[in-house]
């Protein structure tokens, strides 16, 4: 296809595709899907080789959020039966992070539900960052705490934070349809504050909320303009008890097209497969590794994911390798440009959570993890997860509610985490 050849050439040059080209990727047929994956895979391998970066979520404070984000199980008025607990102590959070690091993660994502942190909250998280870094040499720490106020990004940076996650989630024109307690502009402002403080910005989207192709292209082009180093792509987890519980709009093929479009628009950025990959990509997850160079290991904020051990086997079986702690994730031109490097712009500057997070967390997270009997997770599977993994003789044709399981282990519980 001439379209794909053009997109590969532009991706290798870090040149922005046209909106028509991006929309055309989303409109490709199933017959052309493998060609789309192969083309985007060339761009991915050019900038990131066959490395896969592992990230691990720690939910510092779960539930009881005053914001009304429709996709979120921790939202105001949510009837989802999730874990609810207040702030983890620094040693508890550090212990939770250690499980993910032992499983191969190189970045820990510290997430807390809420509109945004108070100055006291920033102190709590700063103490947690210091505890994790003191006990784990070379670990990257990303904070995801919601909307930032004056000076808070600088304080997190001074405490040792490497990155800050705050997702745009959807297009500006439709943002008011999913959230009313804060604005799209508020989110943009927080990403810009992180940039200005010298933090590596992490900002992504949630697909599957009923948006159009144009909405998806709009938010990805907005992300490219904001120039984050990491773009987590979350797929809506339709939690019972939330307004979007009935939104089952995604197929594995649709998810792959979305990931390919993101790769073409931001060719040299860390594209992370975040929340919902197990629910919507399912057995097509290995193909997604040809498009994204980063995933979450372990359970997500309020839901379970795939067994950590299964993730590591999937990466190896697909011919990829886990990125080592000493390896630099981003291409050299982005590293030398710093947190403000361009997102693949042809001018020369180069460019992850809906893990059911709060105002600033991606429900799959800019920064998340999943479930099963992982490398370090020795906890028995909850009954709901056992039901989810039982083999079935008839193919599923409707919503896969059997794949949505509430997290019952790890942070905030007495059970070992999955990692």
Binding residues: 65, 69, 72, 109, 142, 202, 272
Q: What is the dihedral sign for C-alpha 91, 93, 103, 331?
A: negative
Please indicate whether residue 109 is annotated as part of the active site.
yes
| Intra-chain end-to-end CA distance of the chain, in Å | 40
Chain position carrying tokens 């192709």 = 213
Single out the residue of 89, 171, 106 nearest to residue 141, CA to CA.
Answer: 106
Per the structure block, which two tokens stand in for 254? 């649709």
359 is catalytic: no
Catalytic residue among 65, 255, 343, 351: 65
Name the phi and psi angles at 88, rounded to 5: -70, 145
Q: Is 266 designated active site? A: no
Catalytic residue among 202, 266, 351, 367: 202
Axis crossing angle, helix 213-226 with helix 19-26, rounded to the nearest 10 = 130
- Of 166, 164, 206, nearest to 73 by C-alpha is 206
Question: Do the beta carbons of residue 387 and residue 402 sit within 8 Å?
Answer: yes
Feature table: binding site for [4Fe-4S] cluster: 65, 69, 72
Q: CA-based diameter of the chain, in Å?
A: 56
Question: What are the structure tokens assigned to 5, written together?
Answer: 């050849």
- Find, among 265, 183, 179, the residue nearest to 216 by Cα: 265
DSSP bridge pairs for 58: 110
How far is 369 from 419, CA to CA, in rounded Å?
8
Based on the residue annotation, tell me whether 69 is a catalytic residue of this protein: yes
Instruction: Choose, from 69, 144, 255, 351, the residue flagged as catalytic.
Output: 69
The single residue listed with the structure tokens 């997430």 is 111
Q: Which of 14, 44, 107, 109 is catalytic?
A: 109
CA 140 to chain centre: 15
What 8-state DSSP symbol labels residue 418? Answer: P
Told to judge if 376 belongs to the known catalytic residues of this protein, a careful annotator would answer no
**Looking at 44, 75, 107, 142, which residue is catalytic?**
142
C-alpha–C-alpha distance, residues 61 and 40, integer Å: 37
Name the residue among 403, 73, 43, 418 with its Cα closest to residue 252.
Answer: 403
Task: Output the known binding site for [2Fe-2S] cluster.
Answer: 109, 142, 202, 272
Any catalytic annotation for residue 202? yes
Residues with catalytic roles: 65, 69, 72, 109, 142, 202, 272
């Amino acid at each position: 296809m001439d379209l794909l050849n053009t997109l590969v050439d532009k991706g290798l040059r870090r040149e922005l595709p046209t909106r028509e080209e991006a929309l055309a990727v989303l409109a490709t047929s199933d017959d052309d899907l493998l060609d789309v994956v192969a083309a985007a895979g060339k761009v991915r391998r050019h900038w990131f080789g066959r490395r896969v970066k592992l990230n691990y979520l720690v939910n510092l404070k779960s539930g009881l959020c005053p914001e009304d984000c429709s996709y979120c199980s921790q939202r105001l008025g949510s009837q989802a039966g999730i874990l609810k607990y207040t702030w983890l102590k620094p040693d508890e959070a550090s212990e939770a992070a250690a499980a993910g690091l032992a499983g191969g993660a190189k970045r820990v994502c510290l997430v807390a539900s809420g509109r945004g942190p108070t100055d006291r909250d920033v102190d709590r998280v700063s103490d947690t960052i210091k505890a994790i870094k003191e006990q784990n040499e070379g670990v990257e720490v990303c904070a995801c705490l919601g909307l930032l106020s004056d000076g808070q990004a600088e304080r997190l940076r001074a405490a040792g934070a490497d990155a800050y996650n705050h997702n745009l989630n959807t297009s500006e024109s439709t943002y008011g349809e999913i959230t009313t307690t804060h604005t799209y502009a508020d989110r943009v402002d927080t990403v810009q504050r992180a940039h200005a403080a010298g933090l590596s910005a992490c900002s992504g989207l949630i697909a599957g909320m009923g948006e159009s192709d144009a909405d998806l292209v709009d938010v990805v082009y907005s992300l490219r303009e904001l120039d984050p180093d990491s773009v987590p792509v979350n797929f809506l987890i339709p939690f019972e008890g939330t307004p979007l519980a009935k939104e089952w709009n995604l197929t594995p093929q649709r998810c792959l097209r979305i990931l390919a479009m993101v790769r073409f628009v931001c060719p040299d950025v860390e594209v992370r497969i975040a929340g919902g990959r197990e629910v919507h990509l399912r057995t097509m997850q290995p193909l997604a590794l040809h498009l994204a160079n980063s995933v979450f290991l372990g359970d997500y904020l309020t839901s379970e994911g795939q067994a950590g051990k299964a993730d590591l086997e999937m990466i190896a079986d697909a011919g990829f390798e886990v990125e080592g702690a000493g390896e630099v994730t981003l291409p050299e031109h982005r590293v030398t440009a710093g947190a403000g490097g361009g997102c693949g712009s042809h001018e020369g500057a180069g460019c992850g959570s809906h893990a059911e997070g709060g105002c600033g967390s991606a429900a799959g997270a800019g920064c998340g993890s999943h479930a099963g009997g992982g490398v370090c997770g020795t906890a028995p599977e909850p009954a709901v997860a056992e039901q989810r993994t039982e083999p079935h003789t008839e193919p599923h044709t409707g919503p896969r509610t059997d794949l949505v399981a509430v997290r019952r282990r790890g942070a905030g519980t007495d059970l070992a985490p999955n990692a």
